[in-house]
Amino acid sequence: MELFAIQEPLIPTEVVRKVFDGKESVLESSGEFALLYEPLIAQDSCLMCHANAQKDEVLGVMELKISLKELHEGIVESMYWVIGTTAVACLMALGGLWVFFERELIAPLGFLRAMAQDLTSTKEGDLTKRIAIKRQDEVGITSSFFQSLYRKNPKHHKNR
């Protein structure tokens, strides 16, 4: 301070004293700011101007204050984008699942139910109807069981 003619000496805070003594950086953060305290350690090139200093001595402490407001705003914006994109993707997946189950399960089972209802709706039952499902999945196999039942029914053979 004597070399630079600073009139009012700076009173170091507790953190600045800690950095001076420990020669290590300190990072503090609050909700709005991040504070970095970095020791300025004398190197050979520093000694030309700082005649009173020794090599590896702390010449000062740099205090860097960074606003976190823009970072927080970016995080919030990204969060809304991710939530929106996830919601759209979930809706699309649900729509795809609905179409798949409607086409592959609900409609064939409805058709099978209607055919079974037609077969049993009268006292005698109309055994001349065929169940026209040619699939090889569970619904198709179930319809083939109905066809077997039709072929094995003795009433059908008598009426022929």
Give the tens place of pLDDT for each residue, 67-106. 988 989 999 999 999 999 999 999 999 999 999 999 888 8
Residue with the bigger pLDDT between 60 and 135: it is 60
Q: How far is CA 105 from CA 98, 100, 115, 139, 151, in A?
A: 10, 8, 15, 8, 26
Give the whole-angstrom CA distance, residue 103 versus residue 124. 32
Is 35:63 a contact under the CB 8 Å cutoff?
A: yes
Q: How far is CA 22 from CA 26, 44, 52, 90, in A?
A: 10, 20, 20, 53
Q: Taking the CB of residue 15, how many other CB atoms lie within 10 A of it? A: 14
Q: What's the whole-number average pLDDT of the chain? A: 80
Question: Is the model's pTM score more than 0.95?
Answer: no
Tokens standing for residue 159: 């009426």
Instruction: Say what percent of the chain tops pLDDT 70.
Output: 78
Give the tens place of pLDDT for each residue, 39-66. 988 888 887 788 788 888 888 888 899 9
Q: Which residue has the tokens 């950095």?
A: 19
Q: Which residue has the tokens 């020794």?
A: 54
Residue with the bigger pLDDT between 121 and 29: it is 29
pLDDT of residue 1: 44
Tokens standing for residue 26: 């300190």
